[in-house]
Amino acid sequence: MTGIANIRELFTRNLRQSGIFIALILIMVLFTALTDGTLISPINLTNIVLQYSYILVLAIGMVIVIIGGHIDLSVGSVAALAGAVSAVLVIREGMPWYVGVLAGIGVGVIAGAWQGFWVAFVGIPAFITTLAGMLLFRGLTFRVLENISLSPFPESYSNIATGFQNGLLGGPGYDIFTLVIFGVAVAGYVVTQIRARRAAIAYQQTVGAMPLFITKLVAVAAAVMWFAWQLANYRGLPNVLIILAVLVIVYTLVTTRTVFGRHVYAIGGNLTAATLSGVKVKWVNFGIMLNMGVLAGVAGVIFSSRTNGAQPAAGNLFELDAIAASFIGGAAVTGGVGRVTGAIVGGLIMAVMTNGMQLMGVEQSIQQVVKGIVLLLAVAFDVWNKRRAGAR
Amino acid sequence: MARNILEMRKISKTFPGVKALSDVELHVEEGEIHAICGENGAGKSTLMKVLSGVYPYGQYDGDIIYDGEEARFHSINDSERSGVVIIHQELALVPHLTVAENIFLGNERRNRMGLIDWNRANHEAKELMDQVGLHENPVTPVGQLGVGKQQLIEIAKALSKDVRLLILDEPTAALNDSDSAHLLELLRTLKKRGITSIMISHKLGEIEAIADRTTIIRDGETIETIDMSEKDATQDRIIRGMVGRDLEHRYPERIDHTIGDELFRVENWTVHHPTQPGRVVVDGASFNVRAGEVVGIAGLMGAGRTELAMSIFGRTYGRNASGEVYKSGEQIQTRTVSEAIHNGIAYATEDRKKYGLNLIEDIRRNISAAGLFKLTTRGFVNGNEELKVAEEYRDSMNIKTPSVLQVAGNLSGGNQQKVVLSKWMYTDADVVILDEPTRGIDVGAKYEIYTIVNKLAAEGKGVIVISSELPELLGTCDRIYTLAFGRITGVTDVADATPEGLMTLMTQERDAKADAVVGAEENDR
């Protein structure tokens, strides 16, 4: 094939992936203009991170579930139960904050293992299993909370989602600590990218042109440092952002570099071929559901910490936001396709849109309409793009 | 000479980056059976899609003259209205609907109220079914009928649309011999009624038997149109045209042909049907393969060949499997696929698309899928090494693709099969079981697959080839086991083997015990 065909191939392959980033930037620019810059003000950017962190945590797990060819409708209920159990232990029983955190995640482990058992070993479709789980865990939440809300958490607990790391180094009006942390992160990113490039060259792979590579690094570094600057000008580095960053890095590695991740894609792409290639399908499916449970537990802890209490109806419809984030981020309904970074960006698109519309004072009803249309268009774009790429 | 019902003139069709058709000429006379031959990817299907309006007017260059007038089909509906009906290789029937419902799908027989007139529909369906020789009840769900009968339903459906030009894309690929014969006979009957047929086929014997003329397409160009009544219209000439070179031997020479000690032995292997516990599918099969040897397993449809292989390979078929498996003299276990793989056994499945490949994944990851453990340290995959491995196999196996990052689903059948073989070679298996390794792939690619089989044997591996095509087994194997009704009925050295002799063993009389088995089988129906 010709060089032109290769470039075309590169373009079609990357359009979906880069398209989502471009969409996020465009939406940010749009709402920045519509809100006279309020959207990207330090306080608002911080708020977006705090407000949607738990959806992003759920989206990480959800995209893996979807890649594996499943769906999970129960994550809102599991998150609610995790928050409820944690609240009962910390608020009612007066236990220390970390007991609440561990118990919340423990609830996620149990719920995930329960659903994983039915999906993987009994062979009940995840849609049914988690639909049942949605009712089951919601019911248990009401039971645990005895139908009332519990609040407030001690400060040590609510700090998880509302606290900041700052001032350790002092600062002249802005937080130097935040800038240092982000600076280290960016440096780490640049070093890994360069090492990956060197390794690729050592393996005689074709790599992108050097100017393009440098442009990409500079653009990412600039965007991240701008974001850091905005945060530093408000209250510093939110704890939640640290949790989120760790999860994104870990799960990007899990999905792209580990055998488990590879097997998830294989199962979603062609179940029989995966089985006949030696993939232990049942255990991988169990792992997928267990992992989703754990992340739902984490999300539950973050949410209860942020709302400073546990409510019986907490986490309602979280699953739909997480699913929407995954699909906007390029996951395929039929499984086998999707990326953690895509789901995160998909979640951020939803977050920025919701936040932007709230700032503009758009009615709740209209917000829903807009979000629905965006979800539909994102998937429509995906379908169109696939048809175009495979038109022969 | 009859007039041309169809003239496709200077048809060119370009896809992004690829010229699929280049000035193709296809002239079809009224009332003839016209065969189209070509390797996979030569452009046959694209040409038929242009003709039937799948690629609408304006998306291709050139002219289509149909029935004396220039045709500008904008959709399949357009072409069907003019009497051009295409039947695709993958049948487009809805399994849960009845025969009659399928025949009139999209073309329902309605009464004055606009509601479906079922009496009329079923009655007309029955008439159409009689015309194609399908003696079934029109209210039978299609899913209950075999592929051969489903093919006939497709033709009945075409007849219901007043077809004048019938296009069949590999109609007999999935059919057994008697169903194929029936279908070909039907085409002759339709011909007498004045219906013109265009048939894409890989089966040269079939083409020789039925086609009036044959057009050969290679690399998107028309090579020639052969009048099949001519004396030199031979299979060899067609093959020459398809591959663009003489295939002196359809099977490559074995070099370094040394057979060593016994490598793999299966003893007394018995497997039961997965859902009908009393039914024995494989009954006490014993066979062996030596290092550097290619062993064939011949058997008719339903003899239990695939079932035998899959049950040995990680119990992926059936239940209550019993028997012993030995490798290099030591007993091994193959209870799960990964156990089988780690014991050095590989099994390349019959249906690549369904069971062999992740079609939406790239070539690289398909190649590494079964041998991922070799690329892994502490649970992490070495991506660069993986890419290197994939590229090595692309070169050594001659997988035709610009990049191993291409999606496997975009490859032609032959190249897909090379990816499957690469996957299993990378597991370092000593025993390689190939189930129908050349089904649905073209002559040139078949030759390459045979070369790979020889190479595996030359490396001292034991190769087991399961195939429906006797010439293929005779051309590649050292010994051939015959399987009939779940039992191994004999083993023949290839030097002594004849197609007739093998066929006798493949249909061999059963003893009382086997009779009971087949009796059970018949009771199930």
Q: Does A92 touch chain B (CB under 8 A)?
A: no
Share of chain B above pLDDT 90, in %: 41
Instruction: Please say if the pLDDT value at position A103 is more than 70.
Output: yes
Name the average pLDDT for chain B.
Answer: 86
- d(CA B425, nearest CA chain A) in Å: 12
Whether residue A278 and residue B314 make contact (CB cut-off 8 A), yes or no, is yes
- d(CA B291, nearest CA chain A) in Å: 24
Whether residue B384 and residue A205 make contact (CB cut-off 8 A), yes or no, is yes
DSSP string of B265-302, one letter each residue? EEEEEEEE-SS-TT-EEEEEEEEEEETT-EEEEEE-TT
Confidence of residue B468 (pLDDT cuts 50, 70, 90): confident
- d(CA B380, nearest CA chain A) in Å: 4
pLDDT in tens, B195-234: 999 998 877 788 888 999 999 988 788 988 999 888 888 8
pLDDT for res A16: 56
- d(CA B274, nearest CA chain A) in Å: 16
Least confident of A45-59, B13-27, B254-268, B427-441: B13-27
Whether residue A1 and residue B15 make contact (CB cut-off 8 A), yes or no, is no
Q: Which one of A6, A336, A392 has the shortest CB-CB distance to B358?
A: A336
Whether residue A273 and residue B410 make contact (CB cut-off 8 A), yes or no, is no
Confidence of residue A14 (pLDDT cuts 50, 70, 90): low
Long-range contacts of B140-144 (CB under 8 A, 24+ apart): B140/B98, B140/B99, B141/B95, B141/B96, B141/B97, B141/B98, B142/B93, B142/B94, B142/B95, B142/B96, B142/B97, B142/B98, B142/B99, B142/B102, B143/B95, B143/B96
The residues spanned by each domain of chain B are 4-243, 262-344+429-440+460-525, 353-428
pLDDT in tens, B496-517: 888 778 878 887 755 544 444 4
Chain B residue with minimal CA distance to A201?
Answer: B384
pLDDT for res B525: 37
Instruction: Please say if the pLDDT value at position B239 is more than 90.
Output: no
Average pLDDT over residues A181-203: 88
Average pLDDT over residues A61-66: 97
Q: Does A26 touch chain B (CB under 8 A)?
A: no
- d(CA B249, nearest CA chain A) in Å: 30
Mutate to test the interface with A, among B310, B352, B361 (most CBs of A within 10 A): B361
Whether residue A337 and residue B18 make contact (CB cut-off 8 A), yes or no, is no
Instruction: Please say if the pLDDT value at position A312 is more than 60.
Output: yes
When comparing pLDDT for B56 and B522, which is higher?
B56
Least confident of A18-22, A142-146, B58-62, B266-270: A18-22
pLDDT for res A68: 96
pLDDT for res B444: 77
Q: Which one of B338, B359, B387 has the shortest CB-CB distance to A270?
A: B359
When comparing pLDDT for B76 and B18, which is higher?
B76
Q: Which one of A258, A265, A272 has the shortest CB-CB distance to B380?
A: A258
Q: Does A332 touch chain B (CB under 8 A)?
A: yes
Instruction: Please say if the pLDDT value at position A389 is more than 60.
Output: no
- d(CA B295, nearest CA chain A) in Å: 22
Q: Does A387 touch chain B (CB under 8 A)?
A: no
When comparing pLDDT for A340 and B107, which is higher?
A340
Per CB-CB distance under 8 Å, the chain B contacts of A205 are: 384, 387-388
Question: Is the domain covering A3-91+100-149+247-389 a CATH 1.20.120 domain?
Answer: no
Give me the phi and psi of A386, to 5 degrees please: -65, -45
When comparing pLDDT for B246 and B43, which is higher?
B43
Chain A residue with minimal CA distance to B360?
Answer: A269
Assess contact for B226 and B238: CB atoms under 8 A: yes
Whether residue B337 and residue A278 make contact (CB cut-off 8 A), yes or no, is yes
Per CB-CB distance under 8 Å, the chain B contacts of A265 are: 358, 361, 365
Identical fold between B4-243 and B262-344+429-440+460-525: yes
Per CB-CB distance under 8 Å, the chain B contacts of A383 are: none
Instruction: Please say if the pLDDT value at position A207 is more than 80.
Output: no
Share of chain A above pLDDT 90, in %: 61
Question: Is the domain covering B4-243 a CATH 3.40.50.300 domain?
Answer: yes
Chain B residues at the A interface, defined by Cβ less than 8 Å, are: 15-18, 20, 46, 313-314, 316, 336-338, 340-341, 347, 349, 354-361, 365, 369-370, 372-373, 376, 379-381, 383-385, 387-388, 402-403, 405-406, 409-410, 423
Instruction: Please say if the pLDDT value at position B330 is more than 60.
Output: yes
Average pLDDT over residues A185-193: 91
Instruction: Please say if the pLDDT value at position A239 is more than 50.
Output: yes
pLDDT in tens, B173-189: 777 777 888 889 999 99
pLDDT for res A203: 75
pLDDT for res A142: 96
Average pLDDT over residues A150-159: 90
Q: Does A262 touch chain B (CB under 8 A)?
A: yes
pLDDT for res B513: 44
Q: Which residue, chain included where needed, has tokens 């041309």?
A: B4
Average pLDDT over residues B353-358: 89
* CA pair distance B425, B434, nearest whole angstrom: 12
Name the average pLDDT for chain A.
Answer: 88
Bridge-based pairing state of the strands B380-381 and B376-377: antiparallel
Q: Does A3 touch chain B (CB under 8 A)?
A: no
Average pLDDT over residues A322-333: 91
Alpha helices in B331-412 (DSSP H): 337-342, 363-368, 383-397
Q: How many CB atoms lie within 10 A of CB A92?
A: 11
Whether residue B359 and residue A4 make contact (CB cut-off 8 A), yes or no, is no
Q: Does A147 touch chain B (CB under 8 A)?
A: no
3-state secondary structure chain A: CCHHHHHHHHHHHHHHHHHHHHHHHHHHHHHHHHCCCCCCCHHHHHHHHHHHHHHHHHHHHHHHHHHCCCCCCCHHHHHHHHHHHHHHHHHHCCCCHHHHHHHHHHHHHHHHHHHHHHHHHHCCCHHHHHHHHHHHHHHHHHHHHCCCCECCCCHHHHHHHHCEECCCCCCCCCCHHHHHHHHHHHHHHHHHHHHHHHHHHHCCCCCCCHHHHHHHHHHHHHHHHHHHHHHHCCCCEEHHHHHHHHHHHHHHHHHHHEHHHHHHHHHHHCHHHHHHCCCCHHHHHHHHHHHHHHHHHHHHHHHHHHHCCECCCCCCCHHHHHHHHHHHCCCCCCCCCCCHHHHHHHHHHHHHHHHHHHHCCCCHHHHHHHHHHHHHHHHHHHHHHHHHHCCC
Instruction: Please say if the pLDDT value at position B242 is more than 90.
Output: no
Q: Which one of B370, B379, B403 has the shortest CB-CB distance to A277?
A: B370
Residue of B480, B368, B7, B27 whose CA lies nearest to B225? B27
* CA pair distance A104, A377, nearest whole angstrom: 36
Confidence of residue B110 (pLDDT cuts 50, 70, 90): confident
Whether residue A276 and residue B360 make contact (CB cut-off 8 A), yes or no, is no
Whether residue A276 and residue B337 make contact (CB cut-off 8 A), yes or no, is yes
Average pLDDT over residues A276-296: 95
Confidence of residue A171 (pLDDT cuts 50, 70, 90): low
Half-sphere exposure of B460 (CA within 13 A, CB side): 5
Chain A residue with minimal CA distance to B351?
Answer: A273
Share of chain A above pLDDT 70, in %: 92
Average pLDDT over residues A26-33: 91
pLDDT for res A168: 63
Per CB-CB distance under 8 Å, the chain B contacts of A66 are: none
Per CB-CB distance under 8 Å, the chain B contacts of A258 are: 379-381
Residue of A297, A291, A376 whose CA lies nearest to A340? A291
- d(CA A231, nearest CA chain B) in Å: 34
Per CB-CB distance under 8 Å, the chain A contacts of B359 are: 269-270
pLDDT for res B524: 41
Confidence of residue B300 (pLDDT cuts 50, 70, 90): confident
Whether residue B360 and residue A336 make contact (CB cut-off 8 A), yes or no, is yes
Structure token digits, residue A39: 């959207």
Instruction: Please say if the pLDDT value at position B41 is more than 70.
Output: no
Q: Which one of A8, A200, A390 has the shortest CB-CB distance to B17?
A: A8
The model's pTM is 0.78
Instruction: Please say if the pLDDT value at position B37 is more than 90.
Output: no
Which of these CATH numbers, 3.60.130.10, 3.40.50.300, 3.90.45.10, 3.10.440.10, describes B262-344+429-440+460-525? 3.40.50.300
pLDDT in tens, B249-272: 678 887 777 888 999 999 999 999
Assess contact for A336 and A69: CB atoms under 8 A: yes
Chain A residue with minimal CA distance to B346?
Answer: A277
Instruction: Please say if the pLDDT value at position A252 is more than 90.
Output: yes
Least confident of A10-19, B103-112, B235-244, B360-369: A10-19
- d(CA B197, nearest CA chain A) in Å: 25
Chain A residue with minimal CA distance to B41?
Answer: A392
Per CB-CB distance under 8 Å, the chain A contacts of B381 are: 257-259, 262
Chain B residue with minimal CA distance to A270?
Answer: B358
Bridge-based pairing state of the strands B431-435 and B196-200: unpaired
Instruction: Please say if the pLDDT value at position A6 is more than 70.
Output: no
Q: How many CB atoms lie within 10 A of CB B210?
A: 19
Assess contact for B258 and B292: CB atoms under 8 A: yes
ipTM: 0.82
Q: Which one of A1, A256, A390 has the shortest CB-CB distance to B402?
A: A1
